[in-house]
Amino acid sequence: MEEQFILNVNDGATFIDKQVKGWRSRKGSFFGIGPDAERLARYDGATHRQCEAPGCKNIIPNNGGWLWCYDCRSAQKIIDYNELPDEPWNADEPCYSFALDEYYWDEDEIADDADEHGGLSALMLQKCEPVFATELDPMDIYHSDLPDDGDAPNEIKEAFEELNAKIRTCKTPLSWTPRRVKAIIELEDENGNLQSNKTS
């Protein structure tokens, strides 16, 4: 079959389709007539939506990207946290408050926030793990500047090898990130009583 040649400026490259039907949201976005089109157009055009957690009928603003209301998300957060295994906190590493999104190195800071926010358990403390620097590959870094079958110069590759050797042996983390483990901790309050977040 002979291949057609149509320039973008020629007639026939496009036409106005006056027959297209479909769902359009209040904001004007077009969603077509696919199986999800009406539902998506309704969400796009709505200012509020109903919380999608089972059994909840709370109405929430349709702007934060949340499917669940604040109360349902908070309740689920507690359920998720309570299912985690636990380990004692080791003060050589930080611990993380899932409730407050805070990292602590210091027992006094934990005690202050526990007093302020309803006790040690309310902080929902988690153990942390270190995040170490990862090794670098010159081919990844210079990929867009190299020809398709190109290779980085040897001096550069050797320099990366030296750097990677240092990265491998570096014991200092870049940062810490929460582990899916509860951090169990005991603190003495001002009256000398021990408080702990251990539940069993």
Interface with Zn ion by CB under 5 A: which residues?
Answer: 51, 53, 56, 58, 69, 72
| Distance, CA of 181 to CA of 85 (rounded, Å) | 5
Task: Please identify, using beta-carbon distances, which residue of 61 and 119 lies nearer to Zn ion.
Answer: 61
Q: Which two tokens stand for residue 112?
A: 């202050």
Q: Which two tokens stand for residue 143?
A: 């990929």
CB of 66 to Zn ion, least distance (A): 10
Task: Please identify, using beta-carbon distances, which residue of 75 and 163 lies nearer to Zn ion.
Answer: 75
The DSSP line for 21-90 is --EE-TT--EEETSTTHHHHHHHHH-SEEE--STT---EEETTS--SS-HHHHHHHHHHHHHTS-EEE--
Give kind and range of the element (H or E) at residue 147. none
Helix (H, G, I), strand (E, B) or coil at 158: helix
Task: Please identify, using beta-carbon distances, which residue of 30 and 70 lies nearer to Zn ion.
Answer: 70
CB of 188 to Zn ion, least distance (A): 39
CB of 79 to Zn ion, least distance (A): 14
Task: Please identify, using beta-carbon distances, which residue of 53 and 133 lies nearer to Zn ion.
Answer: 53
CB of 70 to Zn ion, least distance (A): 8
Task: Please identify, using beta-carbon distances, which residue of 51 and 110 lies nearer to Zn ion.
Answer: 51
| Distance, CA of 93 to CA of 129 (rounded, Å) | 8
CB of 122 to Zn ion, least distance (A): 21
Tabulate helix, strand, coil % of the chain (nearest 5).
Answer: 30, 20, 50
Cβ–Cβ < 8 Å for 84, 180: yes
